[in-house]
Amino acid sequence: MLNRRKLLQLVPNLTLAGLLSSRLSAKSVTPMVSSEKIKEIENIYRALGVRTLINARGTVTIVGATKMLPEVKRAMDLASSHYVQIDELMEGVGQKLSDLTGAEWGCVTSGASAAITFGTLACITGGDPDKLWKIPDLTGMKSEVIIPYYSRTAYECAARSTGAKMIAVSTPDELRDAIGPNTAMVLVLTGKYSAEGPLSIEKIAALTAPRGIPILADAAAEELVVPNPHLAQGADMVAYSGGKCLRGPQCAGLLLGRKDLVQAAWLTSAPHHGFGRGHKVGREEIIGMLTAVEMWFKRDHRKENEVWTEWLEHISQKISSVSGVTTAISQPGERLSNRFPNLEVTWDQNEIQLTGYDLENLLWEGEPRIAVSGAGSFLPFPPNMNPNIRINPSQMDAGEASVVAQKLYDILSHPPKVIASNKSPLYDLSGQWEVMMEFHASEVSQSFVFEQEGGVLRGSHIGGFATRNLTGSIHGSEVLIRSSYTDHGVRLNFEFTGTVKDDAMAGQVSLSEYGMAKWKAKRKKY
């Protein structure tokens, strides 16, 4: 087994990281940011009317994801001061990534999602420019990507965007039946099932490798392990995010694996013209991502975890004195993805009449703004109605744990009163309603079908993509409707609020990560 220490013996000259830093200490893991620097940073955003926040949620894209290492920022600054031929740069970086990770080759992409897109294109085109220029018209090319059901997430869009048809399977027999002349590759989300399930990478490879069908593993949020466990199990390529635990550039990722496929993947991406031109990665991100990988093998991960755990213990100690509040710190164990400690905060709702969603929003709307659990994603669905929140310390700065602890203490020890509406419904909404949705640049017709029992609503929301279940309530003339469709990784979570008058109603709708819209509806009359 090639562990980190042996790797460093084999690759003694981690050039960029060696130039930029020595081994990280606990202090350098989370440097204290001066008050002058904080003001300078805040002024950049406040000039735009944008609030800064304390990220106690983790490496989530919507709140900024990772905090880049100082060595990465320094390397990117140096890279920006000189020009290079980008293909030559990637050739050198590809070899260096191979030396560091043990993979045959590597390339830097504009994120893990882009790595999946280009890995898919490599399997479809094989690096043939004539085929590349036909994308997304796959006529005459391999056009199908097989995906185990456990791997279906929002991120499969990265493969589907190429024009490929996704073929979902749940058993080895279904996998055998799905394999055919149009199969370009298999896309697998790494985790428990990819390691030991009936459709593990190893078991999939036993069926696909003899037929020359590659496997691409999505390990976006995972740590880099040498030797790579997914390649060892039979995957041909693995995609990683730079904006997660690697603490590299937010808009960068890695594709590691078979040299022929990874090099073909690079040719389908920018700076080369064609389908992938929009997924550009510059010399700064390329060097920054390489530096992040080099630093991964120099960082003191044990010390990082100790510091994060100390912060959680400080928060826990502060808020545990509040009557009804309990806390528990969980460690990541053996999993590779999102390997951070977390603090689970729970409370007795008889004493503190708040839901997790309430507390998330109170922290989000407070000063300073604090993101925990699902905060910052507009509308998690369903909203967390349980009395708990989760705190991830991995993206916090030194000193911020005390701020988080004090804000939690203030809210939980003196919670605001939640006044529930007890108004009887003034209308019966049962039946079908014609809905007009007003988006930024379009108006779209949809439908509601309601069944009403007292003030409780159930039924269907018929949208352009799919019909989804809805739930809701009506108090007096005020209506709340929530609908959700999350099958196969789709994320359509809407929350309608408005008022009813006779056979019409109107209001605003949160589209979750897609912002806000207006809506109005009329009862359908037959």
State the 10-residue block means of pLDDT for the chain, 526 residues long. Answer: 36 46 43 64 83 93 92 97 97 98 98 97 96 95 97 94 96 97 97 94 97 97 95 98 95 97 96 93 97 97 96 97 96 87 96 93 94 71 84 95 97 86 90 96 97 96 94 95 88 93 95 92 92
- In angstroms, the Cα distances linking 286 to 83, 88, 216, 262, 435 are 13, 12, 21, 15, 48
What single-letter DSSP state applies at residue 31? P
CATH architecture, range 57-296: 3-Layer(aba) Sandwich (3.40)
**For position 28, what pLDDT does the model report?**
43
Instruction: Give me the helix-helix angle, 283-296 and 70-79, nearest 10°.
Output: 150
**For position 281, what pLDDT does the model report?**
95
**For position 35, what pLDDT does the model report?**
67
CATH 2.40.128.120 fits 431-523, yes or no: yes
- DSSP-derived 3-state class of residue 163: coil
Partnered with residue 467 across adjacent β-strands are 462
3-state DSSP percent of the chain in helix, strand and coil, to 5 = 35, 25, 40
CA nearest 478: which of 419, 417, 418, 422? Answer: 422
The residue whose two tokens read 């490798």 is 209
Give the containing element (helix H, strand E) for 445.
Answer: strand 443-453
**For position 34, what pLDDT does the model report?**
63
pTM tops 0.75: yes
CB 122 within 8 A of CB 275: no
CB 445 within 8 A of CB 451: no
Sequence-distant (6+) residues with CB within 8 A of 478 are 421, 423, 497, 498, 499, 500
- In angstroms, the Cα distances linking 112 to 211, 217, 366, 407, 423 are 27, 11, 33, 35, 49
**For position 409, what pLDDT does the model report?**
97
- Domain boundaries in the chain? 57-296, 431-523
